[in-house]
Structure 1
Amino acid sequence: MGIELVALHWIYIVFIVLIIGFMVKRLDTTLICILGIFVIAMVATGDLTASISGVFNSFIYAITELLSTILIISIIVAMSRVLAKTGINEVMVAPFTKIIKNPTLAYWTIGILMMIISWFFWPSPAVALLGAVLLPVAIRAGLPALGVAVAMNLFGHGIALSSDFVIQGAPKLTADAAGIPVADVVSASIPLVITMGVVTTVVAYFLLRRDMKRGKLQLVGTYEGEVEQEKTEDLLTMTQKRFFAILIPVAFILDVVAMALFNLQGGDATALVGGTSVFILLVLCIVAHKKKGLEETTNYFVKGFQFGFKVFGPVIPIAAFFYLGDSGFTTIIGDYLPKTSHGIVNDLGVALAAIVPLTKEIAVITLTGVGAITGLDGSGFSGISLVGSIGNLFGTAIGEGTATLTALGQIAAIWVGGGTLIPWALIPAAAICNVSPFELARRNLIPVVIGLIVTTIVAVFLI
């Protein structure tokens, strides 16, 4: 097919296998990714100085590509801290406390609220927004603390984070790695997200009800862990809190309307949500802190950026490596691939199509498996560049379904690593509900595995 596979292609494959192996062993992949970048640069250029510089340049490239995602998450976290500090978050969710009258309503109300808020705030801030207020209400209604944690976890870190329809941080990472538009990944993910979400939450609900009837679950969480929450201060009057509790959701609803009317997606949609969050943060700081408003604004931004870079710090070296598989190679290292090359990953896909009778069934099972494996590091985001690259490779090989394969890998990676199965990724929900993250992980295991199996089967029919 006119594709010349050179040493760079084989080295890239070797390091992908090594990265997956490290993830299976639950070892950190940062070192192996940096080594991979260096070796590829060294083989390509034959220049030690250029290869060392290539590692740094790859980080710059990755940060440049990820910057909008890091910024939006940092800004939203900063805003959520203001909401918690002023007590506006309590007023925002207060009307829903009247709805929660029994365990069933508690589970589904908390879950759906968590999903909606997580689309705009991301799950970790959403846990803080909802958990402290609705946990006591749910317990009074008869839903155990572990059930509250399951609901927040599956709907927030599962459905909302794996779909990420509004902020579009996850779809952008996978779409960039797969070399396709963000809109394609988002649209392809909708039926898969619905399938995974419905199956997982329904199975989890019935298992909860079963164990509640058997008396296996304690109503109140008793885990001896540290719960870090933003302390509410008396900074606003109740009238002001109510005003902002209405204004903030309206502002974000108007953002969604604007996205639909003006067809804003990807970076444009992220920028709209981010800009709205910045202005909300500024107004709240000025009104709540008055003379100290300017100083406090900076403090909130600093806390937000600390959170953002703490979350994405492990992602940058990994993303830097996987960007070498596509358009990033020429920018980072130079024009060292064969003239007929369309990027390392595309070349491998074409070569694979020529020698391997890859079926769509094998492709979807592989993507689910790889996605789940990459999630074992507890990040969820560190591996979605890999599944994007492999989705592109397999989609090229079978001649269709790149967007569906990429979306499937993204869903598997984030459901496993984004905070529903790996204990150290479950800490936000577990801490708020005062339950063991390991117990929460065990509670989620069966529903998530069943959901992944059903979603994989559905994906076969969508390609």
Structure 2
Amino acid sequence: MESHIAIGAAHWVYLAGVLAIVLTMVFRANVVVPSIIATFLVTLAWTHSPVSALASIFNASFVAARELFNIFLVIALMTALLNSLKSLRSDVRMVEPFRAVMKNGHAAYFMLAAITYAISLFFWPTPAIPLVSAILLPAAIAAGLPPLAGAMAIAIAGQGTALSSDYVIGVAPGISAKAAGAAVSAAMVADRALVLSLITGGIALTLAYFSIRAQIRPASAGLLEHWQGRAPDAGLARVEATGSFDKSELARGTAQGEPLGTDANLARSLSMVELRRIRWSKAFAVLTPLAFAAVIALMVVPRLGLGMAELKGGEAAAMVGGMAALLMILATLAAEGPRKMLDVSAEHITDGFVFAFKAMGSVLPIAGFFFVGAGDTAGAILHAGPGHAPSLLFELIQGAERWIPDNHVLVAFGVLLVGMITGIDGSGFAGLPLTGTLAGALGPTVGLDAATLCAVGQMGAVWTGGGTLIAWSSLVAIAGFARIPVLDAVRALLAPVLAGLAVSTMCAVFLWR
């Protein structure tokens, strides 16, 4: 089909900006400044007004913040809840019973993965990794699991499977859907990302298990003593310093301290809770997972066709955030008493916002640039009237339609590859505005569902940069907690993760044409 789209200077500047940002990611540098400069130049090329171009730097980040603030709010409230649970040591009690199940290395491998996935789904891997590493990893090593195998299970389950779907907190699908346009539902992206993440994670976890199965040894306390006597890898700090985002630093900041290797150490840690708080500590260790299980049921059951009303728009995120806020207040009340609870609850929320903006704040100017290329959001940035806002990326793709292969498999793998390239910087989420915008523009052109392409691109970006394939990502923190060289983890994870991504991408094409 011949294209009649008029490609102007703004389109070429936008394309140059996209390429510059991708190239910057490849060189593992932070892309905030290139995004700001590209936003300025695109607006200048479109409006021919230096004043409008200067204002667009602010407008782009403001529009991104307005579109994505619900995500920041959920992160803040979930972090506040986790901080309140820590004061009661309920977070430790939630995972402590699973130590008893780790009778051998084989059971320990899958138990580590299951618990890491569950906690990461609700609280993100950043605080989940230190918790699991301090409490469950020592027990797994004593059961005969090699430290490298433990690191692989944690990375695949947390940084890969849980983070790539981000089904409960909804950061990743929210960014992808907003970038793709108003016609794409965040809930639909989340549903499809959940399926793809489970396929990828299941394959990666299974292949990784078979690759290390022969190294699993009989349970022995000597294995734990030998592991605890290891010095941390000296190269970790150097590798960590090469990343463009500080996720590994955030993960270390939520650490529990020294690993609670023995049952005596764990009992001593739990005994730090005052006697009057012990029953509340146990109560919230049970109440918190049950409450979020109920929220998950409200999100999932209506989609099974059982007659319940489905949550619309941002209602799912609102349910998660509201439940987190309520539990945080109740846990703080139990820990601090009625009077002090008022001040401490406010402090928890403030700390939650600090964490949210440290973890995600740099995404705003990046998303702002890609929002300039989407027709739904470009108008507010460029001050274009209704019907006059350009859709730069969509128009570029329409202009190049004759060169785009009419093959769903090739297009899906192309978006996956773009996602993986954007993940090279080690952030995982910085590339989602690009993959989302690309999915929204490519989907209608090639006849493939945009939500499906969003989920595929999300898999590539998060599995690569989130902490499974890149040494300078959060994988640094996992390797540090496991006391292994981070490059050994990368080499061990490469084949299982790539195989999982390839299979899940094929499934996406054939499941949701």
Is TM more than 0.5 here? yes
* Separation in structure 1 between the aligned mates of residue 477 and residue 341 of structure 2, nearest angstrom: 29
2:351 to 291, 298, 303: 303
- Cα separation, 1, equivalents of 2:407 and 2:129: 41
1:346 maps to 2:394? yes
Partner of 1:399: 447
Match of 2:107 in 1: 105
1:224 maps to 232
CA distance in 2, matches of 1:33, 1:336: 24
Note the C-alpha offset of 1:5: 2.2
Q: Which moved more, 1:77-86 or 1:60-69?
A: 77-86
Structure 2 partner of 1:448: 497
Q: Which moved more, 1:388-397 or 1:231-240?
A: 231-240
Does the 8 Å CA contact 1:172/1:266 hold for their aligned counterparts? no
Comparing 225-234 with 39-48, which one deviates more in the overlay? 225-234
State which of 427, 432, 456 in structure 2 corresponds to 1:408. Answer: 456
Q: Contact 2:378/2:390 (CA < 8 Å) preserved in 1?
A: no
Q: What is the letter of the counterpart of residue 170 of structure 1?
A: A
2:280 aligns to what? Answer: 240
- 268, 274, 277: which one pairs with 2:321? 274
1:366 and 2:414 equivalent? yes
Cα distance in 2, alignment partners of residues 190 and 421 from structure 1 = 20
Alpha-carbon distance in structure 1 between the residues aligned to 2:279 and 2:187: 41
Aligned to 1:45: 47
> Which residue is equivalent to 2:334?
287
* SS of match in other structure, 1:28: coil
Does residue 421 of structure 1 match 2:469? yes
Aligned to 2:79: 77
Distance of 2:410 and 2:386 partners within structure 1: 29
Report what 1:192 is aligned to.
Answer: 196
Q: State whether residues 17 and 38 of structure 2, in contact with CA within 8 Å, keep that contact through their aligned partners in structure 1.
A: yes
Q: Is the 8 A contact 1:111 1:151 kept in 2?
A: yes
Counterpart selection for 2:311 from 248, 260, 264:
264
Deviations 1:317-337 (A, max 9, x none): 111101111122101112289
Partner in structure 2 of residue 30 of structure 1: 32
Which of 294, 302, 310 is matched with 1:254 structurally? Answer: 294
Amino acid at match of 2:506: I
Q: Return the alpha-carbon distance in structure 1 between the equivalents of residues 231 and 463 of structure 2.
A: 24
Identity of aligned residues (%): 33
- CA pair 114-35 structure 1, distance change in 2 beyond 3 A: same
Moved more, 299-308 or 15-24: 299-308
For 2:117 and 2:455, how far apart are their aligned partners in 1?
Answer: 18
Match of 2:288, as an amino acid?
Answer: I
Number of the residue aligned with 2:150: 148
Offset from partner CA, 1:350-406 (integer Å, 9 cap, x none): 323345444223212211111111001111000011111112232222122322222
Specify which of 202, 205, 210 is matched with residue 206 of structure 1: 210
Letter of the 1:333 counterpart: L
State the match for 2:185 in structure 1.
181
Paired AA for residue 245 in structure 1: A
Per-residue CA deviation, residues 301-328 of structure 1 (Å, 9 max, x unaligned), is: 2322221111112211111101111122
In structure 2, distance between residues paired with 1:415 and 1:292: 42
Q: SS in structure 2 opposite 1:98?
A: helix
Q: Is the 8 A contact 1:223 1:435 kept in 2?
A: no
1:328 aligns with 2:377: yes
Q: 1:458 is matched with which residue?
A: 507
Kept in 2: contact 1:252–1:276 (CA 8 A): yes
TM-score by length of 1: 0.92
Task: After superposition, give the CA deviation of every residue in 1:107-146 in whole Å (9 maximum; x if it has no partner).
Answer: 1112112112221111112223333221222122111233
Which letter maps to 1:115?
A: Y
Structure-1 residue corresponding to 2:117: 115
CA distance in 1, matches of 2:492, 2:231: 15
> What is the CA–CA distance in structure 2 between the aligned matches of 1:304 and 1:167, rounded to whole Å?
14
Q: Quick one: distance in 2 between partners of 1:75 and 1:223?
A: 36
What code does the residue aligned with 1:237 have? R
**What's the CA shift for 1:266?**
5.3
Question: AA paired with 1:450?
Answer: A
Is the 2:200–2:501 contact (alpha carbons within 8 Å) kept by the matching residues of 1? Answer: yes
Equivalent in the alignment of 1:168: 170
The answer for the alignment partner of 1:137 in structure 2 is 139
- How many pairs were matched up? 460
Q: State which of 433, 439, 462 in structure 1 corresponds to 2:488.
A: 439
Deviation at 1:224, TM superposition (A): 2.4
* Contact 1:427-1:437 at 8 Å conserved across structures: yes
Once structures 1 and 2 are overlaid, which stretch shifts more, 219-228 or 328-337? 219-228
1:412-444 Cα deviation digits (max 9, x unpaired): 100011111222322443343343433333332
| Aligned match of 2:261 | none
**Alignment-mate amino acid for residue 5 of structure 2:** I
The separation in 1 between residues aligned to 2:159 and 2:288, in whole angstroms, is: 22
What root-mean-square deviation, in Å, do the aligned CA atoms of Structure 1 and Structure 2 show? 2.5
Partner SS state of residue 144, structure 2: coil
3-state SS, counterpart of residue 427 of structure 2: coil
Amino acid at match of 1:283: L
In structure 2, how many angstroms separate the alpha carbons of the residues matched to 1:399 and 1:54?
Answer: 33
Distance 1:383 1:3 in 2: 27
Please tell me the residue identity of whatever aligns with 1:306.
Answer: V
Pick closer, same or farther for the CA change 1:230–1:120 going to 2, 3 Å: same
The residue identity in structure 1 corresponding to 2:479 is A
> CA–CA distance in 1 between the matches of 2:96 and 2:89?
11
Structure 2 gaps of 5+ residues are 218-222, 238-251, 258-268, 302-307
Alpha-carbon offset, residue 263 of structure 1? 1.6
Say if 2:95 is the partner of 1:93.
Answer: yes
Mark the CA change 1:366 to 1:56 in structure 2 (over 3 Å): closer, same or farther. same
Structure 1 residue runs of 4 or more that deviate by more than 4 Å after TM superposition: 225-228, 230-233, 336-339
